[in-house]
Amino acid sequence: MSGRKSAFPMVPMHDAIATILREASALAAAVQNERVPLAQSVGRTIAHDIKAPGNLPPFRASVMDGYAVVSADGPGDYPMVAKALAGSGASVDAKLLPGQLAYITTGAPVPDGADAVVKIEDTEELPEDACGGVRVHICVRGEVKPGTAVRAVGSDIAEGEVVLRAGQLVGASEVGLLASVGSATAPVLRRPRVAVMSTGDELVDPSAPELGPAQIRDSNRAMLLAMAAECGCEVLDLGIVTDQERLLEETMARAVASADVVITSGGVSMGNRDLVKPLLAKLGTIHFGRLCMKPGKPTTFATLEGAEDKKVLFFALPGNPVSAFVTFHLCVVPALRRLRGMAPESCTYPTLPAVIKAPMRLDSVRPEYHRVLASVDPLTTTPSILAVSTGKQTSCRLLSARAANGLIYVPKGTGILEAGSVQELTLFGELLPPAE
Amino acid sequence: MSGRKSAFPMVPMHDAIATILREASALAAAVQNERVPLAQSVGRTIAHDIKAPGNLPPFRASVMDGYAVVSADGPGDYPMVAKALAGSGASVDAKLLPGQLAYITTGAPVPDGADAVVKIEDTEELPEDACGGVRVHICVRGEVKPGTAVRAVGSDIAEGEVVLRAGQLVGASEVGLLASVGSATAPVLRRPRVAVMSTGDELVDPSAPELGPAQIRDSNRAMLLAMAAECGCEVLDLGIVTDQERLLEETMARAVASADVVITSGGVSMGNRDLVKPLLAKLGTIHFGRLCMKPGKPTTFATLEGAEDKKVLFFALPGNPVSAFVTFHLCVVPALRRLRGMAPESCTYPTLPAVIKAPMRLDSVRPEYHRVLASVDPLTTTPSILAVSTGKQTSCRLLSARAANGLIYVPKGTGILEAGSVQELTLFGELLPPAE
């Protein structure tokens, strides 16, 4: 039987996250690059600065549908001598002399000689002249300013301008920017590889038709795989490992050989079948073995030697599903984001003040992260976020994480936090609309 | 040449979104269901209530590693008569009499007769007795309360309890809940099918090695496809369509026959090659043809008859990439979310007050949605969000959408919004960490 008291001090969350980011940063520097097609670049991180190979627009382009004019001509009636249509190479050859104008569509090259575009709403087409020519009345009040409705060459993106910096996360607008500068592929960081396994003799796969006596279904693995995938990682499902030391050690070795980050759940409490911590101590370095928080006290973080002398981050999360859920958000997400190339300060979720709707009980030993539904508060504006508990917070009750989008930090202490008081919210999902 | 003034009134955004949600709701009712493997259920919407087929835990389970006791026995020294290990069927047969205890691990069934678990830290193993038996000292102060550290049958999830409701979006915790009740597959709504095309003779594919005169690269299509995919939709890329009426009509017909939502960009302004609106008027019903906002005034929303008499939502977005980006967020996202089964009030992004860092100029005709980087403000707490402009807001400058996570609503008017004033922020991305 293992020791009766944990050998590990309870580490404050702030220190734990600093440790995790330090170790993840050391690894992040070695992450390789790859090129992926544009459509697959969303959610990836740009590997190196991308410069525009040319100007956008590459020619003086009309902002409007209307008439390209010589601005000095001012309002009046002028003959239309050309049509400049978007995409038409012919438009490029058009040339205006003073006293002439050209019909032009949005995005078409402004003909040489013209220096402004008057929008169609400010013009009138006149009856044909004697020779069948079109004349147009420019009915702008006052003068036509040079440059009106003309995009200068390179005014949107200048040749050589950095359009995306190394470390930039690719979203839809970044895809658009890459497309606009002719990048059909994007240089991105390789996705972190995350291996997930569950430990415990009591676990069976969710697909098992029947439960034996003393068995429950393994909910953590599917959940943690989903969380790692949502974090933009490549995931590796290592299944359920029973509480046998040799099997566990073999599976851990396989995980460490093929992944950047290994996540286990279960096997980290004080029982004689809790084999994960002793194995981590044997195979690598345990940076912390307990956290001063709930739910998730037994959470353990270690680094192990992986393939090619590369360090691997190892998170041994508690088996209780809520503990696994909360500690993944608070401890694992920062590491995965760091490995994805995000700056350290962006690796943790945003925290902001929120009003709690009902009282919350304090724990005298550990601060607690209370799962909540955070919504925009229609009643107050200071702060404007309302946090409603998801109900009974027992660490085995995964229903307390259902639909949750945030965690309220409940400091350790005695008594309660009053309803209506302002507390720190860690926001990991989209804010909900105002509650009824 | 088309008319010189638009036939369409500028519709206020509020009315436009109500119209879109009304039409999307009519369609949403007819969305079919399908079953997908658990790992593919993330981001999908649950099609019907899912009830737990059994209790969780299915047996009285220990919360701790320690000793199962008869609570009435209280502190003292007792013989250990059994070991109840998690996952071991043998544990289920154990039975305690008063004056006995059993070693137990977290998650193991509590033996019959026992009604509490004392955690290992509160016990001491005593020297072996004369017969080699193990005796354990229970050193709890005061009494052992019945039920301590024992999870009652069904206390996490009761048999028949609804674990996920129809309409619930599946995230990681919901995957865990499905797994915990033995659902290896999930009944979800079919994903909306979204077809995207770009229109314009000036456009070439981003992969084109060289630009011809008067040509630019098509950035909208890749961007809009990425946005639709991020919204959980199945996407269909219909390419670039040149400004030829017959070709455009054919492509539109093909899109409408195969998609729930069709998105075009370009071809909606006032030029004689702007064919989309006239075609929509011919083929379906235009609900609005201009929006009172910028960037995105020419945005058009129509419904057309699709396959099997089903209505199809048609968004004709402006060709300027920023206009397409902003109007997708504000107009298309609510429709896609509605079709995904989200409640109408959750279909638009959350809006909340934010402090603007620099002044913003008002437009006298239309309200504007100014792209910003919204961060948690370390300086104030009322409100706690700071919005920093992404720079020059011209609608062709997609760099103004780079890294943007929100839109500040700038009402129409004269003069400026003062730096430091509180404005409405539409938040479409994660809040950034406090800026330096």
Contact between chains at A325 and B225 (C-beta distance less than 8 A): no
Taking CA–CA distances from B174, the nearest residue in chain A reads A402
For the residues A265-286, what does the mean pLDDT come to? 91
In a domain, B19, yes or no: yes
- Our CA-based measurement puts residue B275 at a distance from the nearest CA of chain A, in whole angstroms, of 13
| pLDDT of residue A431 exceeding 80 | yes
Mapping DSSP to helix (H, G, I), strand (E, B) and coil, where does residue A81 land?
strand
In a domain, B432, yes or no: no
Partners of residue A321 in chain B, C-beta under 8 Å? 176, 180
Number of DSSP helices (H) and strands (E) in chain B, helices first: 7, 27
Mapping DSSP to helix (H, G, I), strand (E, B) and coil, where does residue B330 land?
helix
- Cβ count within 10 A of residue B262: 27
Partners of residue A178 in chain B, C-beta under 8 Å? 206, 222
pLDDT in tens, chain B (436 residues): 446 788 899 999 999 999 999 999 999 888 899 999 999 999 999 999 999 999 999 999 999 999 999 999 999 999 999 999 999 877 667 789 999 999 999 999 999 999 999 999 899 988 887 777 889 998 888 889 999 999 999 999 999 999 999 999 999 999 999 999 999 999 999 999 999 999 999 999 999 999 999 999 999 999 999 999 999 999 999 999 998 999 999 999 999 999 999 999 999 987 778 899 999 999 999 999 999 999 999 999 999 998 888 899 999 999 999 999 999 999 999 999 999 999 999 999 999 999 999 999 999 999 999 999 999 987 766 778 999 999 999 989 999 999 999 999 999 999 999 999 999 999 999 999 987 6
CATH code where residue B76 lies: 2.170.190.11
- Our CA-based measurement puts residue A308 at a distance from the nearest CA of chain B, in whole angstroms, of 31
User: Are residues A281 and A258 both part of a single domain?
Assistant: yes
Partners of residue B383 in chain A, C-beta under 8 Å? 381-384
Spell out the residues 6+ positions from residue A291 whose beta carbon is closer than 8 angstroms to its own: A10, A11, A13, A16, A297, A298, A299, A327, A331
User: Are residues B140 and B68 both part of a single domain?
Assistant: yes
Taking CA–CA distances from A104, the nearest residue in chain B reads B271
User: Are residues B116 and B208 both part of a single domain?
Assistant: no
In a domain, A435, yes or no: no
- Our CA-based measurement puts residue A111 at a distance from the nearest CA of chain B, in whole angstroms, of 11
Of the listed ranges A40-54, A68-82, A116-130, A225-239, the least confidently predicted one is A116-130
Write the residue in B91, B151, B177 that is nearest to A398 by C-beta.
Answer: B177
For the residues A240-260, what does the mean pLDDT come to? 95
Which two three-digit tokens encode residue A230?
A: 């949502």
In a domain, A433, yes or no: no
CATH code where residue B379 lies: 2.40.340.10
User: Are residues A267 and A287 both part of a single domain?
Assistant: yes
Write the residue in A39, A352, A399 that is nearest to B222 by C-beta.
Answer: A39
| pLDDT of residue A387 exceeding 70 | yes
Partners of residue B38 in chain A, C-beta under 8 Å? 206, 222
| pLDDT reported for residue B1 | 41
User: Are residues A245 and A269 both part of a single domain?
Assistant: yes
For the residues A218-244, what does the mean pLDDT come to? 96
Structural domains counted in chain A:
4
- Our CA-based measurement puts residue A283 at a distance from the nearest CA of chain B, in whole angstroms, of 25
Q: What are phi and psi of A152, to 5 degrees?
A: -70, 155
Taking CA–CA distances from B435, the nearest residue in chain A reads A345
Rounded CA gap, B54 and B51, in Å? 9
In a domain, B236, yes or no: yes
User: Are residues B269 and B291 both part of a single domain?
Assistant: yes
CATH code where residue B50 lies: 3.90.105.10
Partners of residue A42 in chain B, C-beta under 8 Å? 226, 229-230
Entry field: residues in chain B: 436
| pLDDT reported for residue A380 | 67
Write the residue in A171, A214, A429 that is nearest to B89 by C-beta.
Answer: A214
Taking CA–CA distances from A321, the nearest residue in chain B reads B176
Which two three-digit tokens encode residue A333?
A: 């997400």
Residue type, A293: M
- Our CA-based measurement puts residue B345 at a distance from the nearest CA of chain A, in whole angstroms, of 6
Contact between chains at B179 and A348 (C-beta distance less than 8 A): no
Where is the domain boundary, B304, B325, B346? B346
Partners of residue B216 in chain A, C-beta under 8 Å? 56-58, 61, 107, 180
Where is the domain boundary, A151, A173, A205? A151
Partners of residue B269 in chain A, C-beta under 8 Å? 64-65, 106
Neighbouring-strand partners of residue B303: B285, B313
Partners of residue A64 in chain B, C-beta under 8 Å? 269-270
Write the residue in B88, B208, B402 that is nearest to A214 by C-beta.
Answer: B88
Note whether ipTM > 0.90 here.
yes
User: Are residues B123 and B134 both part of a single domain?
Assistant: yes
Write the residue in B85, B176, B223 that is nearest to A321 by C-beta.
Answer: B176
- Our CA-based measurement puts residue B415 at a distance from the nearest CA of chain A, in whole angstroms, of 21
pLDDT tens, position by position, A19-48 = 999 999 999 888 899 999 999 999 999 999
Contact between chains at B351 and A376 (C-beta distance less than 8 A): yes
Largest CA distance in chain B: 108
- Our CA-based measurement puts residue A121 at a distance from the nearest CA of chain B, in whole angstroms, of 5
H or E element in which residue B21 lies: helix B13-28
Which two three-digit tokens encode residue A332?
A: 């694992």
The 8-class DSSP code of residue A372 comes to E
Partners of residue A206 in chain B, C-beta under 8 Å? 38, 178-180, 182-184
| pLDDT reported for residue A134 | 87
User: Are residues B127 and B231 both part of a single domain?
Assistant: no
Partners of residue B85 in chain A, C-beta under 8 Å? 201, 273
User: Are residues A363 and A225 both part of a single domain?
Assistant: no
pLDDT tens, position by position, A45-95 = 999 999 999 999 999 999 999 999 999 999 999 999 999 999 987 766 788
Contact between chains at B39 and A222 (C-beta distance less than 8 A): yes
Write the residue in B86, B273, B398 that is nearest to A105 by C-beta.
Answer: B273
Give the range of the structural domain holding residue A303, as residue numbers without chain letter: 13-32+190-346
Write the residue in A61, A270, A399 that is nearest to B120 by C-beta.
Answer: A270
In a domain, B8, yes or no: no
| pLDDT of residue A2 exceeding 50 | no
In a domain, B1, yes or no: no
Cα→Cα distances A3→A149, A178, A269, A275, B121, Å: 78, 58, 11, 12, 9
User: Are residues A138 and A238 both part of a single domain?
Assistant: no
pLDDT tens, position by position, A367-383 = 999 999 999 987 766 77
Where is the domain boundary, A151, A166, A200? A151
Q: Average model confidence (pLDDT) for chain A?
A: 93
CATH code where residue B26 lies: 3.40.980.10
Q: DSSP per residue over A393-409, as a string?
A: --TT-GGGGTT--EEEE
* Radius of gyration, CA atoms only, chain B: 31
Write the residue in A42, A87, A216 that is nearest to B215 by C-beta.
Answer: A87
In a domain, A276, yes or no: yes
Mutate to test the interface with A, among B42, B138, B156, B237 (most CBs of A within 10 A): B156
| pLDDT reported for residue A1 | 41
Partners of residue A223 in chain B, C-beta under 8 Å? 172-173, 175-176, 179
**pLDDT-derived band of residue A357, with 50, 70 and 90 as boundaries?**
very high
| pLDDT reported for residue B2 | 47
User: Are residues A85 and A180 both part of a single domain?
Assistant: no
For the residues A246-272, what does the mean pLDDT come to? 93
User: Are residues A319 and A367 both part of a single domain?
Assistant: no
For the residues A205-229, what does the mean pLDDT come to? 95
